[in-house]
Structure 1
Amino acid sequence: MATEFYIGKRLSYDNQLCTVRYIGEVKGTKGEWLGVEWDDSIRGKHSGEHGGIKYFECLNKSTTSGSFIRPTRKPDLGRSFSEALKAKYAPDPVQDPSIHIVFATKPGDNALKKDPLARINQPIRISGKEVEEVGFDKIRKQLAQLSELKIVILDGLRMERSCARLREGMDEWERGLTDVQEACPKAIELDLSRNLFEEWREVASICEQLEKLKSLRVDGTRFRSTSITPAEHARCLAAFAHITDLKLEDTLLPWASLAALTHLFPALTAFSASSNLLTSLTPHALTPTLTSLTLEDNALPTLSSLAPLTTLPHLRRLILKSNKISAITASPSAAPPVFSKSLIEVDLTYNDISTWPFLSALPTTFPGLTSLRISHNPLYHHLQTPDGRPMTPEDGYMLTIARLACLTILNYSPITDKERLNAESYYLSLIAKELAYAPEADEAAILEGHPRWKELCDEYGEPVVARSKGGVNPNSLAARLVKLHVYLGGLGEERTTTLEIPARCTVYTLLGLVGRAFGVPPMRVRLVWETGDWVPAARADVGDAEGEESVDEEEGEAEGGRVGREVEILAGTRGVGTWVEGMEATIRVEMR
Structure 2
Amino acid sequence: MAAEFYVGKRLSYDNQLCTVRYIGEVKGTKGKWLGVEWDDPIRGKHSGEHGGTKYFETLNQSTATSASFIRPARKPDPSRSFTEALKAKYASDPVQDPSIHIVFATKPGDNALKKDPLARINQPIRISGKEVEEVGFDKIRKQLAQLSELKIVILDGLRMDRSVARLREGMEEWEKGLTDVREACPKAVELDLSRNLFEEWREVASICEQLEKLKSLRVDGNRFRDTSITPSECSRCLAAFANINDLKLEDTLLPWKSIASLTHLFPALTTFSASSNYYASLTSHSLNPAIKSLTLEDNSLSSLSAISSLASLPSLSRLILKSNKISVITADSSPSFPVFSPSVTEVDLTHNDISTWSFIDALPRIFPGLASLRISHNPLYAHLQTPDGRTMTPEDGYMLTIARLSCLRTLNYSHITDKERLNAESYYLSLIAKELAYAPEKDAPAILESHPRYKELCEEYGEPVIAREQGGVNPNSLAARLVRLNLYMKDGLETSQVEMEIPGRCTAYTLIGMVSRDFQIRPRALRLVWETGDWMPASKGVEADDTDSDSEEEEGEVGKVMREVEIVPGTRSVGTWIEGKEATIRVELR
TM-score surpassing 0.5?
A: yes
Amino acid at match of 1:268: L
1:58 aligned residue: 58
Change (3 A) 1:491 1:65: farther
TM-aligned CA distance change 1:130 to 1:439, over 3 Å: closer
Kindly tell me: are residues 388 and 102 of structure 1, through their superposed partners in 2, closer, same or farther at Cα, counting changes over 3 Å? closer
Instruction: Decide whether aligned partners of structure 1 residues 333 and 563 sit closer, same or farther in structure 2, where only a CA change above 3 A counts.
Output: farther
2:159 counterpart SS class: coil
Residue pairs, 1:199-238, within 5 angstroms: 199-238=200-239
Distance 1:271 1:149 in 2: 24
**TM-fit CA distance, 1:586:** 3.5
Which residue of the other structure, out of 569, 573, 576, is the alignment partner of 1:575?
A: 573
**For 2:387 and 2:147, how far apart are their aligned partners in 1?**
66
Counterpart residue number, 2:552: none
Q: 1:52 to 1:335 in 2, by over 3 A?
A: closer
User: What does 1:457-536 correspond to in 2, within 5 Å?
Assistant: 457-485=458-486, 498-506=499-507, 510=511, 529-534=530-535
Q: Equivalent residues in 2 for 1:179-218 (5 A)?
A: 179-218=180-219
Q: 1-side partners of 2:513 and 2:64: how far apart?
A: 60
Q: State the alpha-carbon separation in 1 of the partners of residues 488 and 44 from structure 2.
A: 76
Secondary structure of the residue aligned to 2:341 is coil
Contact 2:125 2:133 in 1 (8 A): no
Contact 2:534 2:563 in 1 (8 A): yes
1:413 corresponds to: 414
SS at match of 1:361: helix
Could you say what secondary structure the match of 1:42 adopts?
coil
Q: Report the alpha carbon displacement of residue 188 of structure 1 after superposing the two structures with TM.
A: 1.2
CA distance in 2, matches of 1:119, 1:25: 67
* Deviation readout 1:167-220 (Å, 9 max, x if unpaired): 222222222211111111111110000111111111111111111111100011
Quick one: structure 1 residues 395 and 110, their matched pair in 2 at CA, closer, same or farther if it must change by over 3 Å?
Answer: closer
Output aligned runs, 1:231-270, within 5 Å: 231-270=232-271
- Give the whole-Å Cα distance in 2 for the aligned partners of 1:483 and 1:3: 91
**How far does the alpha carbon of each residue in 1:299-349 deviate from its partner, in whole angstroms, 9 at most, with x for none?**
211111110001000111111111111121125994521100111111111
The worse-fitting range, judged by mean Cα deviation, of 212-221 and 322-331 is: 322-331
Partner of 1:547: none
Distance 2:481 2:114 in 1: 99
Contact map agreement 1:511 1:522 (CA 8 A) in 2:
no
Which residue of structure 1 aligns with residue 338 of structure 2? 337
Counterparts in 2 of 1:27-426, with a 5 A limit? 27-60=27-60, 61-98=62-99, 124=124, 132-331=133-332, 334-426=335-427
Partner of 2:457: 456
**Counterpart Cα distance in 2 of 1:248 and 1:522:** 85
Query: Alpha-carbon deviation of 1:290?
Result: 0.6
Q: Structure 1 residues 457 and 164, CA, compared in 2 at 3 Å: closer, same or farther?
A: same
Give the direction of change, closer, same or farther, for the CA distance of 1:191–1:109 in structure 2 (3 Å limit): closer
Distance 2:209 2:345 in 1: 35
Assess if the C-alpha contact under 8 Å between 2:508 and 2:572 holds in 1. yes
Q: Contact 2:113–2:120 (CA<8 Å) still a contact in 1?
A: no
CA 1:507/1:26 → structure 2, altered by over 3 Å: closer, same or farther? Answer: farther
- Between stretches 351-360 and 566-575, larger displacement belongs to 566-575
Post-superposition offset of 1:123 = 7.5
1:503, 1:93 → 2: CA distance? 83
Q: CA RMSD in A?
A: 3.5
Cα distance, 1:58 vs structure 2: 2.9
Say if 1:31 and 1:331 are closer, same or farther in 2 by CA, change over 3 A. Answer: closer
Structure 1 contact 514–522 (Cα < 8 Å) conserved? no
Determine the structure 2 residue equivalent to 1:546: none
Check conservation: 1:319, 1:346, Cα contact below 8 A: yes
Consecutive unaligned residues of structure 1, counting only runs of 5 or more, are: 542-559
Q: For residues 570 and 74 of structure 1, do their structure 2 counterparts lie closer, same or farther at Cα, with a shift above 3 Å needed?
A: same
CA change 1:579–1:130 in 2 (3 A) is closer
- Determine the C-alpha separation between the residues in 1 that align with 2:352 and 2:476: 31
Task: Point out the more displaced range, 102-111 or 251-260.
Answer: 102-111
Q: Are 1:123 and 1:131, in contact at CA under 8 Å, matched by a contact in 2?
A: no
8 Å CA contact 2:535, 2:562 repeated in 1 = yes
Report SS of the residue matched to 2:17: strand
Match of 1:549 in 2: none
Contact 2:195–2:221 (CA under 8 A) maintained in structure 1: yes
| AA matched with 1:577 | G
The CA deviation at 1:18 is: 1.5
* Aligned sequence identity (%): 76
- Separation in 2 of the partners of 1:416 and 1:292? 26
Q: Name the aligned partner's letter for residue 383 of structure 1.
A: L
- Taking a change above 3 Å as real, the CA distance of residues 124 and 333 of structure 1, as seen in their structure-2 partners, is closer
For 2:420, give the aligned amino acid.
E
Distance (whole Å) between structure 2 residues aligned to residue 149 and residue 499 of structure 1: 87
Give the Cα separation in 1 of the matches to 2:450 and 2:138. Answer: 69
Gap change, CA 1:585 and 1:101, over 3 Å in 2: closer
Classify 1:568/1:461 alpha carbon distance in 2 versus 1 (closer, same or farther; 3 Å): closer
What's the CA shift for 1:530? 4.2
Residues in 2 aligned to 1:464 and 1:129: alpha-carbon distance in whole angstroms: 77
Q: Is the 8 A contact 2:505 2:573 kept in 1?
A: yes
Per-residue CA deviations over 1:478-514 (Å, capped at 9, x if unaligned) read 3212223456786999776654332223456556766
In the TM superposition, what whole-angstrom CA distance separates every residue of 1:93-128 from its partner, at most 9, and x where no partner exists? Answer: 223455577999998999989xx7x997x6857699
Shift of 1:68: 2.4
Measured at CA, do residues 463 and 332 of structure 1 come closer, stay the same or move farther in structure 2, by a change above 3 Å? farther
Residues 34 and 457 (structure 1), Cα distance of their counterparts in 2 relative to 1, 3 Å cut: same
* 1:226-282 Cα distance to aligned partner (Å, 9 max, x none): 222222222211111111110011112221111111111111111001111111111
Distance in 2 of aligned mates of 1:86 and 1:151: 14
What stretches of structure 2 of length at least 5 have no aligned partner?
543-557
